[in-house]
Structure 1
Amino acid sequence: MEQLTDLKAILHSKRANIYYLEKCRVMQKDGRVLYLTESKDENLYWNIPIANTTVILLGTGTSITQAAMRMLASAGVLVGFCGGGGTPLFSGSEIEWLTPQSEYRPTEYIQGWLKFWFDDAQRLAVGKAFQQARIEYIRRVWDKDRELKAENIFIDDSAITGALDNYANNIEAAEKVGDLLQREALLTKQLYRYAAKTTQQSEFTRDHQATDLANGFLNHGNYLAYGLAATTLWVLGIPHGFAVMHGKTRRGALVFDVADLVKDAIILPWAFISAKEKTSEQEFRQQCLQKFTEHKALDFMFEQVKQQALRES
């Protein structure tokens, strides 16, 4: 029992690591979780610091042992199987994630969530609150991030301030979730247009199936954000199906709602910057993870979900 307590010593909201692995075998050895890469001349073992890890994505050519899964579960690490480059996400378990098994999840947050969830008006109010928080996070991150400014992405650009101010006003005017989704889609298109123009990729069109770098990085980065969102909801004990915006057709939609809090602020600009610079997937992923940590993305997700779960009706 002492070992399990030690593994969970770092709060999930403070953990720094997400791993995407491919062409390797994940295993337990000498009380640690390692991944083994096989080459022609030698096999190499690499340690995974599981107590400081939130998510592991297992890509093509991977396998994992039962002993490793047991240790990952004890440390509260989510594991997802995915295709090459981190997408698409799939596994044979509930929703998309192999969540650690624990009957000791908090109950206050799911109880608070269900108090409002069955009321359409209250659910819409939470959706609006998430969207306002999303706007404020974009403003905060883009205003603070010197590297974004060095890439000529400025929060005080008239195109951005106009788009965000207009969306903030339209949020409050929305009478149903469909209105909110429609206006959200318009904002995202405006942000894509701005980032594409700034990085000299004006021909960009968002297509999840496209093979160009910008679309590929957007897909990849979004799945990193989904991992953080899934971790947040698992820790707080809220099932992924109780969405406030995206839940009409996808039972794991609350993951998308929570990931949207940070995607535009971090993933969107760096996908375009990385595409312009033709960086590798690994370099792009490391940049995203660094920015998640720098701007306390996971802390922000926890803060917003807890605030809405405990809101007064």
Structure 2
Amino acid sequence: MEQLTDLKAILHSKRANIYYLEKCRVMQKDGRVLYLTEGKEEKQYWNIPIANTTVILLGTGTSITQAAVRMLASAGVLIGFCGGGGTPLLAGNEVEWLSPQSEYRPTEYVQGWLSFWFDESKRLQVAKRLQRLRLDYLQRVWGKDRELQNYGFYADDADVERALNSFNARITQSPSVTDLLTIEAQLTKNLYKIAAQATRTDGFTRDHAGEDDANAFLNHGNYLAYGLAATTLWVLGIPHGFAVMHGKTRRGALVFDVADLVKDTLVLPWAFICAKERNNEQEFRQQCLQSFAEHKALDFMFDTVKNLSLEGRLL
């Protein structure tokens, strides 16, 4: 069996894999984690390279053994139980994350985060910083990604520039997190409109329970981003409840804050593009993961949270 040090040899920020599994059994066999699918004539085993995996989402019809959970925890892999297609079955439900139980993680980041978190004015400063970094990332990615540009997503598009400049100006003037959330929602709504126009998606309305491909892909891709965000926070030892933007009553709200760094930039355009191209769920998921890796989304999340934690001490 692989030693614990071998399983954690690849830094989480450099890991490439997120798995969504359904209608299968996850188990440990001969020192490896496998998932078993039952075909019409025979059972098939598939290996999961856990040392290079950040998150496993278990969808409908799945089961997992205790031995498999123990190995996944040893490798620092988060496990999420979810509905079909990587999203909740019910609109009000959330993925339940099972974090590996390890107390041997850095304390400097949670201490830095808490040094500002209990001060409302400082928390607002960090929330604004988070939103500016989100805008910078979108401008950087849309400014160089040729595939996105082929579908009409440009950082210097007049409508995009107008939306981003307006949001950037209002960030500075925003008096509260509530106001910041309002203008952030307006930005995303504008980006939906821009994406719908670029892909000629007529009559699009954002509906989390919508059955059209664009809405389904947005839900699916967002939960992939939530998996990366949950991994980032677990590795850095910051509890999910210490959010700076989202609801104070939601235990996992910081996951949403961190995921927002990349959702509009990567998930949003590809959801519309893949819907236009009539891609299936698996093809969309592969495109999302490829885009996450190409633009170092996980690295960006790690760097952002680490820097904000350390900068928080100086506020």
Per the normalisation by structure 2, the TM-score is 0.96
- Indicate the residue corresponding to 1:145 in structure 2: 145
Question: Counterpart amino acid of 1:77?
Answer: V
Question: Counterpart amino acid of 1:124?
Answer: L
Contact residue 82 and residue 95 of structure 2 kept, 8 A:
no
Contact residue 80 and residue 95 of structure 2 kept, 8 A:
no
Q: Is 1:305 paired with 2:311?
A: no
Give CA deviations for 1:124-177 in whole Å, capped at 9, x if unaligned.
Answer: 000000000000000111111111011121111100011001111110110100
Question: Shift of the alpha carbon at 1:2?
Answer: 7.3
**2: CA distance, partners of 1:110 / 1:247:** 19
Contact residue 23 and residue 60 of structure 1 kept, 8 A:
yes
SS across alignment from 1:97: strand
**1: CA distance, partners of 2:97 / 2:60:** 16
Contact residue 16 and residue 53 of structure 2 kept, 8 A:
yes
- Indicate the residue corresponding to 1:79 in structure 2: 79
**2: CA distance, partners of 1:158 / 1:184:** 19
SS across alignment from 1:202: coil
- Indicate the residue corresponding to 2:241 in structure 1: 241
**1: CA distance, partners of 2:189 / 2:102:** 40
Contact residue 247 and residue 254 of structure 1 kept, 8 A:
no
Q: Structure 1 residues 42 and 55, CA, compared in 2 at 3 Å: closer, same or farther?
A: same
Question: Shift of the alpha carbon at 1:89?
Answer: 7.8
**1: CA distance, partners of 2:113 / 2:72:** 28
Equivalent pairs, count:
310
SS across alignment from 2:186: helix
**2: CA distance, partners of 1:34 / 1:262:** 30
Q: Is 1:195 paired with 2:192?
A: no
**2: CA distance, partners of 1:240 / 1:89:** 22
- Indicate the residue corresponding to 2:101 in structure 1: 101
SS across alignment from 1:162: helix
Contact residue 95 and residue 252 of structure 1 kept, 8 A:
no
Identity rate of aligned residues, in percent?
73
**2: CA distance, partners of 1:195 / 1:170:** 22
Question: Shift of the alpha carbon at 1:249?
Answer: 3.1
- Indicate the residue corresponding to 1:183 in structure 2: 183
**2: CA distance, partners of 1:291 / 1:123:** 31
Give CA deviations for 1:91-147 in whole Å, capped at 9, x if unaligned.
Answer: xxx982000010101111111111100000100000000000000000111111111
SS across alignment from 2:114: helix
- Indicate the residue corresponding to 1:282 in structure 2: 282
**1: CA distance, partners of 2:163 / 2:95:** 34
**2: CA distance, partners of 1:173 / 1:11:** 39
**2: CA distance, partners of 1:88 / 1:144:** 33
Give CA deviations for 1:10-46 in whole Å, capped at 9, x if unaligned.
Answer: 0000000000000111011111101011012011111
Question: Counterpart amino acid of 1:239?
Answer: P
Q: Is 1:117 paired with 2:145?
A: no
Q: Structure 1 residues 238 and 89, CA, compared in 2 at 3 Å: closer, same or farther?
A: farther
Question: Counterpart amino acid of 1:185?
Answer: A
- Indicate the residue corresponding to 1:296 in structure 2: 296
**2: CA distance, partners of 1:2 / 1:272:** 42
Contact residue 89 and residue 96 of structure 1 kept, 8 A:
no
Question: Shift of the alpha carbon at 1:247?
Answer: 2.8
Per the normalisation by structure 1, the TM-score is 0.97
Contact residue 2 and residue 31 of structure 2 kept, 8 A:
no
- Indicate the residue corresponding to 1:36 in structure 2: 36
Correspondences of 1:168-179 after superposition (within 5 Å): 168-179=168-179
Q: Is 1:4 paired with 2:10?
A: no
**2: CA distance, partners of 1:89 / 1:232:** 25
Q: Which runs of 5+ in 1 are unaligned?
A: none
Segments of 4+ in structure 1 off by > 6 A? none
- Indicate the residue corresponding to 2:268 in structure 1: 268
Which sits farther off after the overlay, 74-83 or 147-156? 147-156
SS across alignment from 1:273: helix
- Indicate the residue corresponding to 1:19 in structure 2: 19
**1: CA distance, partners of 2:51 / 2:278:** 33
Q: Report the RMSD for the aligned CA atoms in angstroms.
A: 1.4
Q: Is 1:68 paired with 2:68?
A: yes
Contact residue 80 and residue 89 of structure 1 kept, 8 A:
no
Contact residue 167 and residue 187 of structure 1 kept, 8 A:
yes
Q: Which runs of 5+ in 2 are unaligned?
A: none
Q: Is 1:226 paired with 2:226?
A: yes
Contact residue 81 and residue 95 of structure 2 kept, 8 A:
no
**2: CA distance, partners of 1:233 / 1:195:** 30
